Structure 1
């Protein structure tokens, strides 16, 4: 059993004000693998005090000093990448290959993209008419709340730009998957991050998240998670009028036109939806298919879904692992059962665990066809390996259907026509549009429209989220 009961506050590993143990469960075995402490408002107070004291000096450091720290962090992070792979496997059930090839490298990607952005950013520049000086300054003490589904990705995407901007911070990682964040704290400590600049307090939303959001000593909240929780963060932050940056849920449309290569498009669509066991906020979970290609697409989806294997995260291979928890497993089962009850055609998967699994939160890769855009499975973020297929007749209908959602995080287009790709992408109400399987770089802005959040992360855009703009005239 791994024991990680201490918090990182003021440059030291300290005991919580009040001991409250919490077990971290391996979702593949349903057995505890670690124990952490859940903090309280008193722990948040200590961390904010440390961050406030450190801000006075850290906010005045030069770009070179902050860049040097990021370079040291990258060096140590890469040395300890095997440990990060293992932490992510244990805490969230990511298969070893997937952890090594995608989850862990995302931390390096964000650190390097932020370092490049820091070195090229103009912190001072003249106003357009030249009569004033425009100056970017760190916003202050930042509260960072990160999720369990891409744990180190979101930690690095927030901590790196906050450091680069000259901010100090208090991080609350998900209490369900805290091991990667605790390892990251060790890496920052070893890299020589000044005392109080980075602080970590484990805890749940009501005990620590709410205290951070409402804290008068925190100048900004950066939150990634569900839309429901994002609303709560915003409400708690309102009384102190702090900046709130949100990266929330999604129900991303994937528009497949008949002129696309059907086999390539369907394979991409299913692999992208099922990747990370469907636990990605920007997963293309609504596959909208042009009517003339629809039945061929359903047949291909049935075949490719059957090829998708579910397996033990500890074993090598390209299989998918479990979902994060029993609560999430039960929610996904409810969505699948609701889809069947609403009349959607079950093409692959369905309720229950895959064959051969009696324990662990494993879900069958599931595909529904003949879905309407008003069905529950098409409206709600399922956050599991569940794809819904909906036919459309015209380009305009596809665009209207794609935009008919409260979310707007990402959208996908599969077409053989570059002109159509450009035309349709401009009409989709989403923060990111991916054409024919393209993947973004780490310096491309990430964030959503509507109930998918506000603000943008990654690279220079993430850096700007942690900066205030001051004008100096005269």
Structure 2
């Protein structure tokens, strides 16, 4: 079992002030794979103090100098791909091929987008006769989740460092191993002491300490809407900026003239990463004339989704991250059955042949109505709800009938309808006809899906304050 009790503070690996161990579980085996320590107030204070002390010098560097450090980190990250994939697979259960490719690959993909944005980033901009200056906001506390660990760490840490902020990272205590490896890479890149810091802890401990700390200027959080509300309340007394990327319940609107593989792609997208993605298309809304055919396609597709151990190579889905997550998903599947939805595929219990580990059967519900729990709540597992609609207006109304607003999906060969519906749905992102987004796009949502934007130039500006200067025209 790995022992990873130390924190990375002020350029060194240091022991916690007091030892408070937490065992990290491998979700494929339900066995302990590592032990970490949870930080306390003294650990958090030390990390924040280091970040504060480092801020003036780091902010004073020009972007070219900061970029040189980040490019060195990039090279190290790429060289240690296999290590990062193995860590992610062990801690949160992503199949090793997914962990070593897509999960690890989020890092260089997002960094490429940030480097491109940095090349054209204007720290000072002319506006009429004034000078508008983009300045780093200061010390940033970052609280990241377990489901796509490097995706969220890179989306936060890299742009904050790029514009001159200093960082204290608190990764998920459920899946901390990849972030500890990330910190090793930061150390190898030789950043000045205190610019990047990491303290492990839980939300009630280090998470709250960062959110309320008077010397933290900004909190960037990705996770549940419930936790986002708690962080916002905790941060309110110090009026620090809070950037949130929260939950989702994306609608996938499939019109009768949708591309041939629309339903198949929608099922596979929902099941990817064992359904543990905030932007997963978990509500499939199908035009009624196409509904029976769509159900047949969805059922056949789900039957081909394999479930297996995370360490096994090949294309399959792994376990969900924890016993608590497994129990939550099972409870929501049971609720769907009790409320009258039709089980088209999957259902309760583990897949055949998997009697250990937090494995969930790929599950599809048909005939789901908007009043049902599985239609409204974010399940965060491989569970899809399918509902018919009668016309375009009803599809838009149903898509918007949610507290969330992260990503919606539209499938139709009619380009005018595709754009019309995309403009009408209330979400920060709209993917149409399975055409994915490029790097550097603004990732984020509306309503209870959050208020921040991550990626590219928007991600850089997220960590900036705006200063206007008169009498000094450019």
- Once the 2 structures are TM-superposed, how far is the Cα of residue 261 of structure 1 from its aligned partner? 2.8
- Once the 2 structures are TM-superposed, how far is the Cα of residue 312 of structure 1 from its aligned partner? 1.2
The answer on 1:363 being equivalent to 2:366 is: no
Aligned to 1:8: 8
- Once the 2 structures are TM-superposed, how far is the Cα of residue 132 of structure 1 from its aligned partner? 1.2
Equivalent positions of 1:305-454 (< 5 A) are 305-454=302-451
Aligned to 2:30: 30
Aligned to 2:21: 21
Aligned to 2:223: 225
* Cα shift readout 1:150-172 (whole Å, capped 9, x = no counterpart): 00110000000010010001000
Aligned to 2:47: 47
The answer on 1:251 being equivalent to 2:257 is: no
- 3-state SS in 1 of match to 2:468: strand
- 3-state SS in 1 of match to 2:424: coil
- Once the 2 structures are TM-superposed, how far is the Cα of residue 260 of structure 1 from its aligned partner? 1.1
Q: Tell me how many residue pairs correspond in the alignment.
A: 471
Shifted more, 36-45 versus 278-287: the winner is 36-45
* Cα shift readout 1:286-330 (whole Å, capped 9, x = no counterpart): 000000000110111111101111011111111000000000000
Aligned to 1:300: 297
**Separation in structure 2 between the aligned mates of residue 51 and residue 360 of structure 1, nearest angstrom:** 40
**Separation in structure 1 between the aligned mates of residue 150 and residue 142 of structure 2, nearest angstrom:** 13
**Separation in structure 2 between the aligned mates of residue 395 and residue 278 of structure 1, nearest angstrom:** 27
Which sections of structure 1, spanning at least 5 residues, go unmatched? none
Contact 2:259-2:433 at 8 Å conserved across structures: no
**Separation in structure 2 between the aligned mates of residue 70 and residue 407 of structure 1, nearest angstrom:** 34
**Separation in structure 1 between the aligned mates of residue 357 and residue 394 of structure 2, nearest angstrom:** 41
* Cα shift readout 1:237-296 (whole Å, capped 9, x = no counterpart): 00000000000000000000000134x011100110000000000000000000000011
Over the residues paired in the alignment, what is the CA RMSD in angstroms?
0.6
Aligned to 1:80: 80
Contact 1:60-1:166 at 8 Å conserved across structures: yes
- Once the 2 structures are TM-superposed, how far is the Cα of residue 442 of structure 1 from its aligned partner? 1.9
Which sections of structure 2, spanning at least 5 residues, go unmatched? none
Aligned to 1:98: 98
Contact 1:95-1:319 at 8 Å conserved across structures: yes
TM-score, normalised to structure 1, is 0.99
1:268 is matched with which residue: 246, 265, 270? 265
* Cα shift readout 1:2-28 (whole Å, capped 9, x = no counterpart): 111000000000011110111110000
